Structure formats: C-alpha cells, structure tokens
C-alpha cells in the first residue's frame, strides 16, 4: 500500500545560499545508500524528499535510517486531492497502526485546496470514527493519521521514524580517523560522520605483538562505520619497528607520549596523501595518561592540522551507550589488544615536558622510521 518514503531534513534547511550544496550532497548519499536495490525515482521538493517504493518500504527505511542529514522518515501513501481518497487511505492506516485512540492532523501547503486543515481533520476524523468506533483523543492519542496536502498530491502516513540527523557525509571535507580496536575511536568516527566528514581510517598494527584478529576487529569496526558513511578507506600502518625503537632508546615513562607523537606524524603524512584537512581521535580528557592537557599539548606539537576530539568531555558510560546504539560495542569489547595497550609503562608520565620529550626523541631516527612505515602501508577499501 505504501508508495513512497518521505524524508525530512532539518539543519540543512537553515544553510541559506549554501543550502543547495547540502541538499545535493544528501541526495547523492541517499542514492548511494540504495544503490544495490532496484532503481527507484527520487523526487525533491522544497524541504522534502520522496523516495518511491514498490513493496520494499521496510528495506529502504532501514538503509535511510543510517544516512546522516536525515531527521526523520515516514512510509507514505500518495493519493489524489479529494476528501474521499483521504478517507479511504486514512482508514487503511488506522486499521494497520496499533492503538485505540486516534486523531487526524493535516498540513495544507497547497492553499488552493478548497478545505482548510481543521475541516479536513473533521471530515476525515468523523469518517474514521463512524467506521471503526475508535475514540478520538486530540491531546494524547495512541495514533496520529497525518495528511500533507501539497500542490501535486496528498500524502498520508502514521509513522514518524527518527533518522540520525547531522549533516550529509562529505559536505564538510575529509578527516583521518586514528582508529584502534577500542570503544572510543569508532564512536568518535561516527560523530565525525554525523558532522559531515568523509573519513579514512588509520590503524597502527604491531605484528607479532598484536594478532591478526586484532586487525580483523578494526576491519569489522570500519564495516559498521561504512554502514553510516559509505565506502571507507582503511590504511594499516606497520608500527612494530617504531615501538621497538622507542622501547630501546627512550625513557619508559615517555613510551606512550612519544608513541602518540609518532602516530600523529604519520597521520599528518597520510592526511596529505588522502587530501584530508583534519585528524580525528577518540581521546577523552583525563581518561588515561596520554589524555591529560599536558600530554595533549606535547603530542599536538608535531602536527599543524586541526585535531578533532569529539569525545573530549564524554565519560566512559556515555561512550559505551553510544557504542551500543551504533553497533560497535560488541566488536570493541572482543579481547584482542591493540598496540597501545601492550606497551603501557608501569608509571606513564601524565605531565610530560616538551623539552624532555624532544631530547629523548633525538635518539630515534624519526624520519627514517616514518618513511619505512609509510612505504609499507596496507590499503583496504571497506564496504558496508
């Protein structure tokens, strides 16, 4: 019975002269999300997008629920502009929507339609009451039958399904997500996607200190992110030689600080290759030794790119809750350790001094180690 899925967007409508670019990006992302389904017509009118369906509304909605920029969705029945047609379709919706009480709510953007919204509510609501006997409750109904009267047709629906909101992926540029197998970085990546970033993943892999399963875990996390942001490029950086050099030549309390500085140096080079304008991390202020203000300041010194930290004020419970919601939690808690957890010193520096860190790094062949890592990057294209 459903003929289309109504797509609503919110923040995009406030973009003024740039609104067209945001809408075009959203339309492209909708087409990409549905690309492996049978081809369908997508109509764009002011403030609304209609995706035509042919019996597969449920599958279309499942895809579109993960497209950033969409505020909400409704499977709709398109009908001609007359009260009898409204009544017929509204009765079908009422019979197929659970609940007892109901009300009819009309929006009439087509001012040439001869009945005003309250009149439509009364004419359709009275018919439904007579046919079903279900009571009307205008204040707190179990079901709302919505009627949108537009220029070309009317659309009726009873469901409003939340979308993820945010901005269309790709509209704000590209960022490099430093992704481990833990809870935080995939959630940070999801939040970056929500603000319109197209992300490439960068994972530091220390074989044989970390197993092949730890890499597979990161790939699985990227597959989840690809469900929201489309195909995702993952770069696997061999990090074993760098960690060995740090362990051999540097003070133990500075292992993590220097390791993170090396990661940021490599990430900057990768950003240049990928055309990215920012780095994205899962750091949360004060969560571990490398995430104190002093540590963050020292680590940041090696890059001149913006470093986005969307979780900086979040606590672990908030991060875990969002991880469960987006589908990364069960993957992240698998017991396969990443390169950071295996090289944590007994007493890591929480307030490292830049001069001491730079002095320690003089014993490393920094440029040589970075070049060796970049020359051996493994590149993967991850699909949803």
Q: List beta partners, residue 175.
A: 199, 278
The reply to whether 203 sits in an annotated binding site is yes
Report the distance separating Cα 248 and Cα 255, nearest Å.
10
Contact 4, 49 (CB under 8 A): no
The token pair at 239 is 């990090």
Contact 73, 164 (CB under 8 A): no
The reply to whether 353 sits in an annotated binding site is no
Report the distance separating Cα 285 and Cα 313, nearest Å.
6
The reply to whether 196 sits in an annotated binding site is no
Q: Kindly list the distances between the CA atom of residue 47 and the CA atoms of 50, 151, 303, in Å, as whole numbers in the listed order.
A: 10, 14, 41
The reply to whether 166 sits in an annotated binding site is no
User: What secondary structure does DSSP assign to 314-367, as a single string?
Assistant: --HHHHHHHHHHHT-HHHHTSS---HHHHT--SS--SS--HHHHHHHHTTS-HH
Report the distance separating Cα 276 and Cα 81, nearest Å.
50
The reply to whether 178 sits in an annotated binding site is yes
Task: List all residues 6 or more positions away from 148 whose beta carbon is below 8 Å from its beta carbon.
Answer: 6, 76, 106, 107, 109, 154, 155, 156
| Residue that the structure tokens 């939340």 belong to | 162
Nearest to 176, CA basis, from 299, 282, 29, 274: 274
Cα diameter, the chain: 86
The reply to whether 173 sits in an annotated binding site is no
Report the distance separating Cα 29 and Cα 124, nearest Å.
37
Q: Is the dihedral of CA 24, 27, 33, 36 positive or negative?
A: negative
Which secondary-structure segment (H or E) carries 174? strand 173-178
Nearest to 260, CA basis, from 297, 290, 286, 288: 290
The reply to whether 232 sits in an annotated binding site is no
> No. of H helices and E strands in the chain?
14, 14
Task: Specify binding-site residues for ATP.
Answer: 178-179, 203-204, 260, 282, 291
Q: Which residues contribute to the annotated binding site?
A: 178-179, 203-204, 260, 282, 291
């Amino acid at each position: 019975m459903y003929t289309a899925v109504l797509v609503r967007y919110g923040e995009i409508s406030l973009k003024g002269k740039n609104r067209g670019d945001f809408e075009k990006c959203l339309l492209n992302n909708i087409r990409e999300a549905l690309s492996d389904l049978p081809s369908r017509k997508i109509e764009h009118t002011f403030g609304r997008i209609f995706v035509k369906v042919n019996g597969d509304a449920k599958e279309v909605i499942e895809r579109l629920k993960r497209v950033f920029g969409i505020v909400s969705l409704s499977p709709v029945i398109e009908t001609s502009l007359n009260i009898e047609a409204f009544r017929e379709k509204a009765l079908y919706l009422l019979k197929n929507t659970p609940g007892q009480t109901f009300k009819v709510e009309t929006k009439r953007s087509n001012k040439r339609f001869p009945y005003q919204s309250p009149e439509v509510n009364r004419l359709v609501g009275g018919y439904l009451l007579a046919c079903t006997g279900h009571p009307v409750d205008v204040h707190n109904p179990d079901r709302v039958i919505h009627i949108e009267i537009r220029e070309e047709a009317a659309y009726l629906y009873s469901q409003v399904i939340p979308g993820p909101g945010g901005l269309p992926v790709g509209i704000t540029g590209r960022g490099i997500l430093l992704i481990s197998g833990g809870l935080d970085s995939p959630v940070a990546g999801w939040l970056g996607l929500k603000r319109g970033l197209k992300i490439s993943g960068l994972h530091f892999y220390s074989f044989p200190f970390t197993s092949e399963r730890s890499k597979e875990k990161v790939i699985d996390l990227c597959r989840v992110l690809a469900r929201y942001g489309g195909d995702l490029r993952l770069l696997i950086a061999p990090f074993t030689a760098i960690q060995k050099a740090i362990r051999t030549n540097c003070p133990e309390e500075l292992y993590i600080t220097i390791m993170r500085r090396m990661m940021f140096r490599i990430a900057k080079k990768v950003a240049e290759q990928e055309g990215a304008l920012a780095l994205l991390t899962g750091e949360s202020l004060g969560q571990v030794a490398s995430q104190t203000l002093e540590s963050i300041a020292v680590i940041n010194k090696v890059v001149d790119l913006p470093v986005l930290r969307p979780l900086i004020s979040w606590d672990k419970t908030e991060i875990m809750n969002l991880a469960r919601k987006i589908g990364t939690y069960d993957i992240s808690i698998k017991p396969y350790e990443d390169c950071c957890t295996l090289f944590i010193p007994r007493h890591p520096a929480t307030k490292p001094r830049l001069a001491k860190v730079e002095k320690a790094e003089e014993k490393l062949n920094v440029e040589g180690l970075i070049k060796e890592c970049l020359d051996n990057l493994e590149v993967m294209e991850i699909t949803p």
